[in-house]
Amino acid sequence: MTKNIFGLDLTSLQDEVKQLGMPAFRAGQILEWLYQKNIYDFSLMTNLSLKLREELPKIFSIDCGKIIIQKNSIDKQTSKFLVEFADKTAVETVLMRQSYGNSICISSQAGCKLGCGFCASTLHGFQRDLTSGEMLAQAMKSQAIVTKEGQHINNIVIMGSGEPLLNYNNVIQFIHLVHEKYCMNIGYRNITISTSGIVPMIKKLAEENLPLTLSISLHAPDDVLRSHLMPINNQYPLQSVIQAADFYAEKTKRRITYEYILIDHINDNLLQAKQLVNLLSHKLANVNLIPLNSVVERGFRRPSSKRIKTFTDFLQNHHINVTLRKEMGTDIDAACGQLRNKHLDKTNK
């Protein structure tokens, strides 16, 4: 069986080509074709020796996935697409064209194990971890789209389907790769990891000494409600998550973002806003409020604009840095996992 070359970094590929009895510099040439020129056929890599062009396909495949569905929002700011890999695993990626740059939201796993009550990604269960190459494929597909618009990808958020810290090694490998100049040259500060709060892995991430942005999905200000919404809270309760995030902020000097989905009459009353202030006052943190994207199967609703405003104002008046997530792509199934679910529903029929 051939090995997928897409997603290898320079050092690993240098080792591979040396084993083939070829000089190490060939690895750089191959990666330039793959990561800069978007050429996915060894026979077209014209600066390689003929022998190498013939040998490579016997050892390597090039699986950079293909876009099988793409939806663009009416305002053209958001594109959402499903990337399918050779084994038919499909994952979704969102491209958001914002005034401060182009951001992409990529998936780290196909499906999810966590079972959060409001989330669509979990509805079909967990399929498998994605490799670093499959995460890179999502980023490069997005780059190819914006290249046609004369643009670049500026920010990557690992906030699509899956829990990145439960696929730790592949995610870290991807982050290093996408940062490389020979790849996409994305600064670490422009990369965000969003986690439901896998405490030991947050601590491990802090020790990597990378200035990544860390987002914590909080969604409730007390353990009872948080465990109800996010079963992972039974394993890693609220205070342990906040302590781990403090450790991350201390180590990296990076401000933590706490994500808080607003769900009508579940976590959006003023007492809860007050509890949230108590938890986060005087921390190097900001709160990103996300009005729920309704997932019909889940039965939770988005609060009224009035309730959203009251909650937001309360936090602001108590000196919490708050941002209210701007809605993008609601006309194209923007909630995590919705596009993939529709695809799975169709293909399973």
Nearer to ligand SAH, 27 or 332 (CB): 332
Residue closer to ligand SAH, measured from CB, 252 or 293: 293
Q: Where are the alpha helices (DSSP H) in the chain?
A: 10-19, 25-31, 50-59, 132-147, 168-179, 199-207, 223-229, 232-235, 238-252, 270-280, 305-317, 338-348
- First-to-last alpha carbon distance for the chain, in angstroms, is 31
Minimum CB distance to ligand SAH, residue 225 (Å): 14
Binding site residues, ligand SAH, CB under 6 A = 116, 118-119, 159, 163, 194-196, 217, 259, 261, 290, 292-293, 295, 335-336
**Phi/psi at 98 (nearest 5 deg)?**
-115, 165
Instruction: Give yes or no for a contact between 183 and 204, defined as CB atoms under 8 angstroms apart.
Output: no
Q: How far is the CB of 16 from ligand SAH (least distance, A)?
A: 32
Give the nearest distance from C-beta 213 to ligand SAH in angstroms.
Answer: 12
Selected catalytic residue, list 64, 105, 112, 336: 336
CB of 222 to ligand SAH, least distance (A): 17
The distance of closest approach from Cβ of residue 302 to ligand SAH in the complex, given in angstroms and rounded to an integer, is 8
Please say which residue, 26 or 254, places its beta carbon nearer to ligand SAH: 254
Residue 224: phi, psi to the nearest 5?
-65, -50
Q: Which residue, 91 or 335, is less far from ligand SAH as judged by CB? A: 335
Closest of 191, 197, 162, 193 to residue 177, by C-alpha: 191
CB of 255 to ligand SAH, least distance (A): 17
- Residue 275 tokens read as 């509890």
Residue 17 dihedral angles phi and psi, to the nearest 5°: -70, -30
Whether 92 is catalytic is yes
Q: Which is nearer to ligand SAH, 9 or 259 (CB)?
A: 259
Smallest separation, CB 226 to ligand SAH (Å): 11
235 to each of 112, 165, 199, 218, 247, how far by Cα in Å? 16, 14, 9, 14, 19
DSSP string, 138-196: HHHHHHHHHHTTT----EEEE-SSS-GGGSHHHHHHHHHHHHSTTTT---GGGEEEEES
Residue 108 · residue 134 · CB < 8 Å? no
- Of the residues 16, 64, 92, 112, only one is catalytic, namely 92
- Take residue 63 and report the two structure tokens written for it: 């699986």
Residue closer to ligand SAH (CB basis): 48 or 337: 337
Helix (H) or strand (E) holding 260: strand 256-262
Residue among 27 and 201 whose Cβ is closer to ligand SAH: 201
What phi and psi, each to the nearest 5 degrees, are found at residue 227? Answer: -65, -35
Contact 179, 186 (CB under 8 A): yes
Catalytic residues: 92, 336
